[in-house]
Structure 1
Amino acid sequence: MTDTPSFRAAKLPHLRRRKLRKGDPVPLPLTMAAMYNLPGAPAGFAQYGRFDNPTWEGVEEMLSHLEDAPAVAFPSGMAAISAVFFSLLKTGDRILLPSDGYYTTRMLAERFLKPLGVSFDQRPTSSYLDGGFDGYRLVFLETPANPSLDICDIAAVSAAAHAAGAIVVADNTVMTPYGQRPLDLGADIVVAADTKAPNGHSDTLFGHVASRDEKAIAAVIDWRSLSGAIPGPFEAWLVHRGLETLEVRFDRMCSSAETIARRLKNHPKVQALRFPGLADDPSHNLARVQMERFGFLIGLTLESEISAESFINGCALIQPATSFGGVHTSAERRARWGDAVAPGFVRLSVGCEPVGELWAAVAAALDEA
């Protein structure tokens, strides 16, 4: 089948081949340009660095291939989310946001959309269908939610929201196109922070918007050009390079997370565990239906803040850091950011280390926590 993750992964490194002339570099060149040679009529040519850049276009080609939809690159995940909100919403609109998803999305709505007359409500991801969607212009979902790892039914939410006349936007940062395909499940627009696993090396911020709705994509592109929310060419080049190995890294990370989660479940220091791949996880049955992998994030709750910090800081193979999706395993205590989780809740992002050695380090740190 041509829509399998393996097929998409196989074609990805060869997208440039059909454009190459004899003697052209195989890797994507880094084009650092604010201006272009532009004599005469400008239509149909690269014009100015706020509108055009060949390195962006190379990344967008890759992202479009993975999403099976036109993709527009942005300098961060929040820039991508902002582009959707500010290009598609108007005064008087009402939107729905997940109460347990990434908190910055809610802060953006509170501080900047609300004063412009765009109201918003919040709802837990696990009960997103409850209450219906009448009166909403836009329904924003994040599944699995970060950091709770609760899941909602993308197909069911999309169908119900469309019946009520709403646009459905799905934040797919946690899963990437290899792990979950919201557009195929009915969402109108996907947003993601490619800062995470797509780039994979924790060295640049990036994001994208993807949609099969031509008007939505056109509006997002206009917003990017007029607002100046453009990615830097070097950052785009880094993400392009990261995307070439995403499938390999994602497979390793997800497989290791499944092993680590099963072992964490039986550790006496772990009071609670969230991972969609565990058979007794509340999200497992739905995850099996709508996700192609179970992801690389694990939520574990230890006895206290002190225990959580001791575990994170005492593990030789865990990098204490915010964000996730890098080649190195990382973790943080999410309550320090104000998330509605227990003081001892740890979001563990499993990296690419050999799983045997990683588990040995994690178990040793838990024993001492």
Structure 2
Amino acid sequence: MTRNTDDRRFAELLHHRRDRLEQGDPITPPLVSAATYHLPRSDVGGFIYGRMSMPTWEEVEAQLAILEGGHCVSFPSGMAAISAALFATVTAGRRVILPSDGYYTTRLFAEAFLRPFGVTVDYVATTEAEAADFTGAGVVYIETPSNPGLEVCDIRAIATRAHAAGAVVIVDNTTLTPVLQRPLDLGADIVVAADTKAPGGHSDVLFGHVATRDVGLLQRVKDWRKLSGAVPGAFEAWLVHRGLETLEVRMERMCASAGVIASRLAAHPRVQGLRYPGLAGDASHATMARQASGFGFLIGMTLESAEAAEKFLADCPFIARSTSFGSTHSAGERRARWGDAVPEGFLRLSIGLEPVEALWDAMAQALDG
């Protein structure tokens, strides 16, 4: 993706309503929370019922479609989007391959609801996905960079091999957002993401989406949303729409600060096993540089113990002690407490919008103290 193409895309994002505006229309899309609509006839189109479509959904989906380069369907959370994509593509007896080191809730969902329905579920580490055996697979699901370990795999290479085996490729793109990585351009069939993170950006909304260029898959996902009732609220959609309008500039600041912080953490004597794909020596650097336009705002680092990690978080005033990531504020979490296969002292850091020197000074004092 060239810089000029990205610039055009981000400009279109901000003016996506231009050709539909009439005299006196609001530039900002109105918040429409109606569940029912004037419906003297049911055969001439228009909005019908809030479980099927809403004006405010369509506005945020239009913006997401510009970013993703494909049709988008919105959901009330990232997990709602993930479950919709899986239920739209799996059937009993089909083999589904999931990352063993990705977001743990996806694995919990597979074990609780896919496997009991007769779906064969296999797990492969992100770094092993490119060479994995896809024989008999109906779905190959990857997450790159992985959460929380920030491992990276080659989307195009995996998509080529998976398609040869007859599988649908789903990519969880939550950690980078379509600002930095567009999996549909790299051969993925479906993209899923939690817009609760950077797209919403203010820790005040749950939201997710599915993107695809395949009209058949698109209809399956829409049917799942309509029939399951997994629909977002209009106010939540409006909040994400507003967040998307500043996403590109927030990502630029967050990623730039993450690069500075990561290089300094790498030189600190207390920090072990630092992971940030933007560092030239990181194992994920080469692949990510090839398929993404930036390295993200997440950093993984390990301190000597769980107690040391928790004390660092407690002592740093500019790191919120919370789960999730991608907000305006920096956040940190010891991921082993959720059962992730990481060292007890491993921290996932999400770098926010704080001035970078103030943030680093606070982090350095917490480390040195």
Same fold (TM over 0.5): yes
Task: Give SS of 1:151's match.
Answer: coil
The amino acid across from 1:92 in the alignment is: G
**TM-score of the superposed pair, with normalisation by structure 2:** 0.98
Q: Which runs of 4+ in 1 moved over 6 A?
A: none
Q: Summarize deviations over 1:321-344 as a string: whole Å, max 9, x none.
A: 000000000000000000000000
Q: What is the aligned partner in structure 1 of residue 155 from structure 2?
A: 154
Conservation of the 8 A alpha-carbon contact between 2:9 and 2:67: yes
Residues in 1 aligned to 2:313 and 2:208: alpha-carbon distance in whole angstroms: 28
Distance 2:186 2:144 in 1: 12
Query: Following the alignment from structure 2 to structure 1, what is the Cα–Cα distance between the partners of residues 134 and 23?
Result: 55
Task: Judge conservation of contact 1:132–1:160 (CA < 8 Å) in 2.
Answer: no
Cross-structure match for 1:57: 58
Please provide the CA RMSD for this pair: 1.0
Q: Give 1:132 shift.
A: 2.3
Aligned to 1:144: 145
- Asked if the contact 2:195/2:240 (under 8 Å) is kept, the reply is yes
TM-superposed CA distance for 1:42, in Å, is 4.2
Distance 2:243 2:128 in 1: 35
Identity of aligned residues (%): 58
Provide Cα deviations, 1:305-333, integer angstroms capped at 9, x if missing partner: 01100111110110000000000000000
Deviation, 1:271, is 1.5
Distance in 2 between residues matched to 1:87 and 1:188, nearest whole Å: 12
Matched to 2:320, the amino acid is Q
List runs of 5+ in structure 2 lacking aligned partners: none
What is the CA–CA distance in structure 2 between the aligned matches of 1:239 and 1:42, rounded to whole Å?
31
Partner of 2:257: 256
Give yes or no for contact 1:132–1:161 (8 Å, CA) kept in 2.
no
Which residue of structure 2 lines up, in the alignment, with residue 119 of structure 1?
A: 120
**CA–CA separation in structure 2 for the residues paired with 1:96 and 1:146:** 17
Q: Which amino acid is 2:171 matched to?
A: A
Whole-Å separation in 2 of the counterparts to 1:40 and 1:92: 42
1:31 aligns to what? Answer: 32
- Name the stretch that deviates more: 344-353 or 12-21: 12-21
Q: What residue is the counterpart of 2:299 in the other structure?
A: 298
User: Displacement of 1:43 after TM fit?
Assistant: 3.3
CA contact (8 A) 2:124 2:132 kept: no
Correspondence for 1:168: 169
Offset of 1:5 from its aligned partner?
A: 2.2
Q: How many residue pairs get matched?
A: 368
Shift of residue 236 of structure 1?
Answer: 0.2
Task: Work out the CA distance in 2 between the residues paired with 1:79 and 1:271.
Answer: 35
Q: Distance between the aligned counterparts of 1:204 and 1:43, measured in 2?
A: 34
Contact 1:56/1:73 (8 A) holds in 2: yes
* Pair 1:286–1:40, CA change in 2 (3 A): closer
Shift in Å at residue 131 of structure 1? 3.1
Q: Are 2:168 and 1:183 equivalent residues in the alignment? A: no
After TM superposition, give the deviation of residue 287 of structure 1 in Å.
1.2
Q: Which stretch of the first structure deviates more once superposed, 143-152 or 1-10?
A: 1-10
Aligned residue type for 2:190: I
Amino acid at match of 2:30: P
Distance of 1:342 and 1:271 partners within structure 2? 10
Matching of residues 1-369 of structure 1 within 5 Å: 4-368=5-369
| Superimposed CA distance per residue, residues 44-71 of structure 1 (whole angstroms, 9 cap, x where no aligned partner) | 1111010120000000000001011000
